[in-house]
């Protein structure tokens, strides 16, 4: 058998090397090694793991490529679900699909996603370090010995930083869901075609022990169309009936006040928290309230709103005015058309003095883009206005915030919105209901919000002796408008 001479073998070896310059480069050529180095760093950034498959450990490279493909599939799947089926995405992410007995496992999906992002960020750093080893900087041109690692550091900072940000966003979402919806009431089906939620607003800075609800509304969301109706209940409206429950036992007809210098209350609906939690044993009246994420005073207010409006209200959302301002700032402000020039600062105690003597600023009439502080003063101001006007302004702010909750705003300001949300609200809404409400919220944004104000000006409602039958007729006609008879 003849053996090829060394002179015949050398060209074959050179052709193999030239055919695979990434894995088997000509290390004696500074130009080849420099070009190869730039290519490896670029490939590591664009398709992590590809540099190792082409020039290093194929085992490490395949692992990196597999992780990259898996993360891309996860992101694409999440994006498609968010765009085409947001309720499905919310259901998966929130863990709402987990049965109630296993509710402690609901944070697990987001925890796993957060771990994947962190692991991928670490993997990208490892792959970048290994890529620099494969580059063999000592064989590259002098300037490239600085440029190649500098580019690699910048790119890995961008890439791993993006993965770390994804982990942070996922963690913020998980923590916000846990803080807001940690304990909740049982899921109940819609009542007469509507999800009804009691919306309460107050300033926790006044002291939780004596805090009364400044804003009381009921939000009714159509379970099919998402059409939303907000019924505003004046906080001083009195002598209302209760739905069946412990307060109905105490007040078979209507709620009345009690004149007692030690611990008394008025007949107004915002007096219920003082009566139930300060003057009575609220935990005896509503023993399950705390375990289901509520409070006795809130449950009594639910029963009052149910008795007054004639609808079932299983859930509540409490809005803290301090968190309210933070949320508006997180959203980048809200747009409001101010009807009357209002001062910032002060209150009823300054009623006998000109506003110029105590105002710390002014909210001018006309279109305004308000930050959180201005919006808070706009909602609170009682100067030259009454409680009914405050109700209107608070409703304007609620609707403006809903309008500002666009996907673009939430995505670009997600961290600040998530942080503000934990200080903004308390609720007993169950996590299992969140995907449905999220889907209905998207439908609601395409429709005008209807309002019912139970005030003398809007609907001739007597605040001391309300006509309950008339109130319930207003609500019923708004939620279930009669079908117009066909014209003959």
Is 355 inside any structural domain? no
Is the same domain home to 75 and 174? Answer: yes
Rg for the chain (alpha carbons), in Å? 32
> Which residue is it, tokens 């006609």?
477
CA distances from 413 to 93, 146, 168, 307, 318 (A): 19, 37, 13, 40, 23
- Work out the pLDDT band at 210, boundaries 50, 70, 90: low
* 380, two tokens: 């609170």
Round to whole Å and give the CA distance between 444 and 403: 10
Round to whole Å and give the CA distance between 457 and 93: 45
Is the same domain home to 284 and 423? Answer: yes
Is the same domain home to 155 and 213? Answer: no
- Work out the pLDDT band at 14, boundaries 50, 70, 90: very low
Model confidence pLDDT, tens digit, residues 80-89: 877 777 767 7
Q: Quick one: CA torsion of 103, 108, 114, 117, rounded to 10 degrees?
A: -150
Question: Shortest CA distance to 315 belongs to which of 325, 328, 329, 305?
Answer: 305
* 143, two tokens: 């300037």
pLDDT at 17: 43
Is 213 inside any structural domain? yes
What's the number of domains the chain is made of?
Answer: 2
Is the same domain home to 112 and 207? Answer: no
Query: Which one of 155, 180, 205 terminates a domain?
Result: 180
3-state DSSP assignment of residue 233: strand
Q: What is the CATH number of the domain that holds 216?
A: 3.30.420.590
Is the same domain home to 109 and 237? Answer: no
Is 304 inside any structural domain? yes
Is the same domain home to 292 and 439? Answer: yes
Q: What percent of the chain has pLDDT over 90?
A: 34
Is the same domain home to 52 and 167? Answer: yes
Is the same domain home to 160 and 221? Answer: no
pLDDT at 8: 47
Is 375 inside any structural domain? no
pLDDT at 193: 94
Question: Shortest CA distance to 126 belongs to which of 118, 137, 114?
Answer: 118
Dihedral-angle region of residue 371 (phi above 0 means left; psi in -120 to 50 means alpha; beta otherwise): beta
Supply angle C-alpha 474, 475, 478, rounded to 5.
85
Is the same domain home to 166 and 220? Answer: no
Quick one: average pLDDT of 241-268?
93
Is the same domain home to 176 and 214? Answer: no
The residue segments making up the domain with residue 48 are 19-180
For the cut 80, the answer to whether the pLDDT of residue 351 exceeds it is no
For the cut 70, the answer to whether the pLDDT of residue 355 exceeds it is no
Query: Which one of 152, 180, 208 terminates a domain?
Result: 180
| pLDDT higher at 435 or 417 | 435
Which residues lie across from 217 on neighbouring strands?
199, 232
> Which residue is it, tokens 């289901």?
292
Quick one: average pLDDT of 93-116?
74
* 35, two tokens: 């070009």
Bridge-based pairing of strands 215-222 and 361-363 is unpaired
Is 265 inside any structural domain? yes
pLDDT at 1: 46
Is 188 inside any structural domain? no
- Work out the pLDDT band at 12, boundaries 50, 70, 90: very low
Instruction: Tell me which range, 142-146, 201-205, 354-358, 447-451, is most confidently predicted by mean pLDDT.
Output: 142-146
Is 353 inside any structural domain? no
For the cut 80, the answer to whether the pLDDT of residue 100 exceeds it is no
For the cut 60, the answer to whether the pLDDT of residue 219 exceeds it is yes
For the cut 60, the answer to whether the pLDDT of residue 91 exceeds it is yes
Is the same domain home to 304 and 442? Answer: yes
Is the same domain home to 66 and 107? Answer: yes
Is 123 inside any structural domain? yes
Query: Which one of 139, 157, 180 terminates a domain?
Result: 180
Model confidence pLDDT, tens digit, residues 61-73: 999 999 999 988 9
For the cut 80, the answer to whether the pLDDT of residue 143 exceeds it is yes
Model confidence pLDDT, tens digit, residues 176-199: 776 667 656 678 899 999 999 998
């Amino acid at each position: 058998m003849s053996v090829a001479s060394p002179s015949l073998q050398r060209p074959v070896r050179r052709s193999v090397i030239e055919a695979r310059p990434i894995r088997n480069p000509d290390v004696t050529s500074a130009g080849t090694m420099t070009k190869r180095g730039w290519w490896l760093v670029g490939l590591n950034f664009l398709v992590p793991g590809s540099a190792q498959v082409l020039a290093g450990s194929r085992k490490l490279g395949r692992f990196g490529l597999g992780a990259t493909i898996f993360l891309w599939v996860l992101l694409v799947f999440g994006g498609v679900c968010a765009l085409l089926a947001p309720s499905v995405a919310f259901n998966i992410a929130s863990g709402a699909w987990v049965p109630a007995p296993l509710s402690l496992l609901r944070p697990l999906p987001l925890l796993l996603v957060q771990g994947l992002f962190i692991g991928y960020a670490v993997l990208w750093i490892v792959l970048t370090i290994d890529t620099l080893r494969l580059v063999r900087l000592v064989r590259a041109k002098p300037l490239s010995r600085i440029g190649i690692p500098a580019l690699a550091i910048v790119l890995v900072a961008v890439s791993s930083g993006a993965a770390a940000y994804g982990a942070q966003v996922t963690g913020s979402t998980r923590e916000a869901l846990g803080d807001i919806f940690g304990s909740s009431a049982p899921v109940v089906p819609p009542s007469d075609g509507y999800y009804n939620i009691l919306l309460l607003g107050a300033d926790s800075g006044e002291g939780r022990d004596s805090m009364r609800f400044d804003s009381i509304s009921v939000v009714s969301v159509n379970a099919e169309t998402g059409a939303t109706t907000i019924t505003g209940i004046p906080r001083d409206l009195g002598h209302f009936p209760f739905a069946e429950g412990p307060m109905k036992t105490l007040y078979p007809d209507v709620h009345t006040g009690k004149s007692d210098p030690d611990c008394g209350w008025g007949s107004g609906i915002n007096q219920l928290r003082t009566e139930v939690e300060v003057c009575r044993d609220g935990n005896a009246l509503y023993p399950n309230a705390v375990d289901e994420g509520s409070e006795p005073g809130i449950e009594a207010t639910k029963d009052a709103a149910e008795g007054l409006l004639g609808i079932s209200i299983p859930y509540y959302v409490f809005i803290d005015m301090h968190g309210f301002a933070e949320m508006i700032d997180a959203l980048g402000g809200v747009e409001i058309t101010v009807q009357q020039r209002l001062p910032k600062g002060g209150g009823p105690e300054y009623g006998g003095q000109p506003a110029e003597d105590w105002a710390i600023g002014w909210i001018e009439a006309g279109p305004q883009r308000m930050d959180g502080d201005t919006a808070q003063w706009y909602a609170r101001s009682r100067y030259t206005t009454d409680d009914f006007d405050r109700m209107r302004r608070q409703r304007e702010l609620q609707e403006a915030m809903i309008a500002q909750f666009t996907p673009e705003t939430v995505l670009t300001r997600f961290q600040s919105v998530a942080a503000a949300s934990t200080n903004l609200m308390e609720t007993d809404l169950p996590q299992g209901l969140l995907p449905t409400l999220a889907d209905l919220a998207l439908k609601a944004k395409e429709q005008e919000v209807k309002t019912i104000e139970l005030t003398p000006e809007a609907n001739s409602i007597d605040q001391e002796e309300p006509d309950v039958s008339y109130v319930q007729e207003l609500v019923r006609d708004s939620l279930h408008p009669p079908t117009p008879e066909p014209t003959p």
